[in-house]
């Protein structure tokens, strides 16, 4: 069984006069009411999860929910108040400053909303910069920089300066720079939120293409559920520093763990997210009809067939074996469930 690439256990980040002492007084599990009553700010609150190799975990929530602070605690750009962060089985919180620097130079890549490109350096020099800091020879770092520049679709712009690039191109430079070190773990904090909608979609497409090629382990922060649906293997929804629920997009929409998650996901276009599997009724084995639909089809793609059929439509798996049926009533009920009670 694969071990997690990165894992956190009971991770806390409180801001206030004496957060460590406060946690000790409350047995390491203070209630949100106690935290607020004593004037502490709960940036990250008792968070635990694993991220498996090659997985994209999206962390999302409203502004101030703690998602960016969580990412910075995972990379130790911010020191957690308590808990554990394990990277490849190694306790990150026990690492010395020099060990952390080496980990970030060789194992981790980071991309933020602010491109933070060096304005006086060309695309090539910007991308090669982390390798220069590492002490890589000029010939080797420029060769590697050219490889990743081509990978992100900027070949031919190596001599351009940031001011000569569009927003999307600048973000590609930022992505290339983070990839230059060959990171095993990639942290992305709202990397596309500053871009126009069309460019943003192009960058999401580019990101997914890169992930197919590189298969990185990724923690991706966003506040946009549509973006999360496009890129995530699993999604964690945060509120007041805590993870309300972690699961696939389909699980969050169809089986919300809390009223907050139900409200957070209620306006998601279900037909473009949910599969036939989520709406079908299991059926006993028999020969499937010729007009059967696939269990993994999105509900949007089978709408006409199901809604116009007078009888239930057969559902088959990838091998063509009957696994269930889907009728008009079940289809409509799945798409138009009642709103959560307030």
CA 111/CA 240 separation, integer angstroms? 24
Measured distance CA(80)–CA(210) in Å, rounded: 31
Longest CA–CA separation in the chain, Å: 71
Question: CATH 3.40.50.300: does it fit domain 6-107+183-265?
Answer: yes
Chain position carrying tokens 């919180």 = 93
Question: Residue holding tokens 């079940």?
Answer: 330
267-299 in b/e form (b: 16+ CB < 10 A) is: ebebbebbbbbbbbeeeeeeebeeebbbbeeeb
Picking from 105, 77, 93, the residue whose alpha carbon sits closest to that of residue 10 is 93
Q: CA–CA separation, 67 vs 61, rounded Å?
A: 7
Domain extents in the chain:
6-107+183-265, 270-335
Confidence check: pLDDT of 169 > 50: yes
* CATH fold of 270-335: CBS domain Like (3.90.1280)
The Cα–Cα gap between 45 and 65 comes to 10
Percent of the chain predicted with pLDDT > 90: 72
The structure tokens listed for 97 are 């400053």
Binned at pLDDT 50, 70 and 90, residue 337 comes out as low
The tokens 């919300």 sit on which residue?
256
pLDDT value of position 246:
98
Residue 245 DSSP one-character state: E
Cβ-contact 154, 99 below 8 angstroms: no
Exposed/middle/buried for 134, CB within 10 Å: 0-12, 13-18, 19+? middle
Contact 318, 339 (CB under 8 A): no
* Residue 19 neighbours by CB distance under 10 Å: 20
Q: According to the model, what pLDDT value does residue 167 have? A: 86
The predicted-structure confidence for 279-332, as pLDDT tens digits, reads as follows 999 998 899 999 999 999 999 999 999 999 999 999 999 889 999 999 999 999
DSSP element (H, E) containing 208:
helix 197-214
β strands within the chain, DSSP E: 6-15, 41-51, 56-60, 82-87, 90-91, 108-112, 185-189, 217-222, 234-239, 242-247, 281-282, 293-294, 313-316, 322-326
| Strands 217-222, 185-189: pairing kind | parallel
pLDDT digits (tens, 9 = 90+) for 58-81: 999 998 999 999 999 999 999 999
pLDDT at 53 over 80: yes
pLDDT in tens, 220-270: 999 888 899 999 999 999 999 999 999 999 999 989 999 999 999 988 888
Strand intervals (E) in 179-261: 185-189, 217-222, 234-239, 242-247
Distance CA 108, CA 181 (A): 8
Q: Which of 240, 336, 324 is nearest to 282 (CA)?
A: 324
Say whether pLDDT at 144 is over 70: yes
């Amino acid at each position: 069984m694969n071990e997690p690439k990165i894992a956190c256990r009971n991770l806390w980040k409180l801001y206030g006069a004496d957060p460590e002492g406060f946690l000790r007084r409350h047995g390491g599990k203070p209630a949100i009411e106690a935290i607020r009553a004593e004037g502490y700010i709960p940036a990250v609150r008792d968070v635990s999860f694993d991220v498996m190799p090659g997985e994209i975990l999206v962390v999302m929530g409203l502004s101030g929910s703690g998602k960016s602070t969580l990412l910075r605690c995972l990379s130790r750009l911010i020191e957690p108040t308590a808990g554990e962060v394990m990277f490849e089985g190694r306790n990150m919180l026990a690492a010395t400053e020099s060990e952390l620097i080496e980990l970030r130079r060789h194992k981790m890549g980071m991309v933020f909303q602010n491109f933070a490109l060096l304005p006086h350096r060309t695309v090539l020099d910007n991308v090669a910069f982390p390798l220069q800091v590492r002490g890589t020879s000029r010939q080797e770092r420029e060769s590697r920089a050219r490889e990743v520049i081509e990978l992100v679709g900027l070949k031919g712009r190596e001599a351009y300066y940031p001011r000569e690039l569009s927003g999307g191109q600048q973000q590609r430079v930022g992505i290339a720079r983070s990839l230059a070190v060959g990171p095993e773990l990639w942290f992305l904090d709202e990397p596309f939120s500053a871009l126009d909608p069309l460019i943003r979609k192009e960058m999401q497409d580019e990101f997914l293409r890169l992930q197919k090629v590189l298969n990185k382990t990724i923690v991706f922060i966003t506040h946009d559920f549509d973006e999360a649906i496009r890129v995530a293997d699993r999604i964690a929804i945060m509120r007041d520093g805590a993870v309300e629920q972690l699961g696939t997009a389909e699980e969050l929409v169809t089986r919300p763990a809390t009223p907050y998650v139900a409200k957070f996901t209620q306006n998601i276009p279900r037909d473009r997210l949910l599969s036939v599997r989520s709406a079908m009724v299991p059926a006993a084995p028999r020969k499937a009809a010729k007009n059967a639909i696939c269990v993994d089809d999105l509900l949007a793609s089978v709408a006409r067939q199901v809604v116009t059929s007078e009888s239930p439509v057969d559902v088959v798996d990838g091998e063509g074996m009957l696994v269930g049926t889907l009728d008009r009533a079940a289809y409509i009920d799945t798409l138009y469930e009642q709103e959560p009670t307030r």
